[in-house]
Amino acid sequence: MRSDHGAVHESGRPELATHVWLRFDSAREQHVLLAPEAVIVLNGTGADILGLCDGHRTVAEIVAELQGRYDRVIDDEVRQFLARLIAKRCVEISDG
């Protein structure tokens, strides 16, 4: 669920759009999102966020999982990352 200003709510359940794939690119030695006519190179944290976007976990659960893995994970940064990918139609989010 998104508000008018593009905010991603903690109860939303994000997942990759059906036409997008998360893959490890051995040539780049980084994870990438593959979409028709687009390749988005991800850093490790971005790949971890998207790896948790299965349509079952809520944004709040994803943030909690990441906070268990990393010393510093900021809720707003995760939401902004997801909002950018929603705007690019790489991620879809259902209401919580």
Tokens of 50: 């998207």
Closest C-alpha to 50, from 23, 16, 18, 27: 16
Q: Where are the domains of the chain?
A: 13-89
**Per-residue pLDDT tens for 36-68?**
989 999 999 999 999 999 999 999 999 999 998
CATH number, domain 13-89: 1.10.10.1150
Q: Which of 4, 1, 39 is nearest to 22 (CA)?
A: 39
pTM of structure: 0.87
pLDDT digits (tens, 9 = 90+) for 3-13: 333 679 999 99
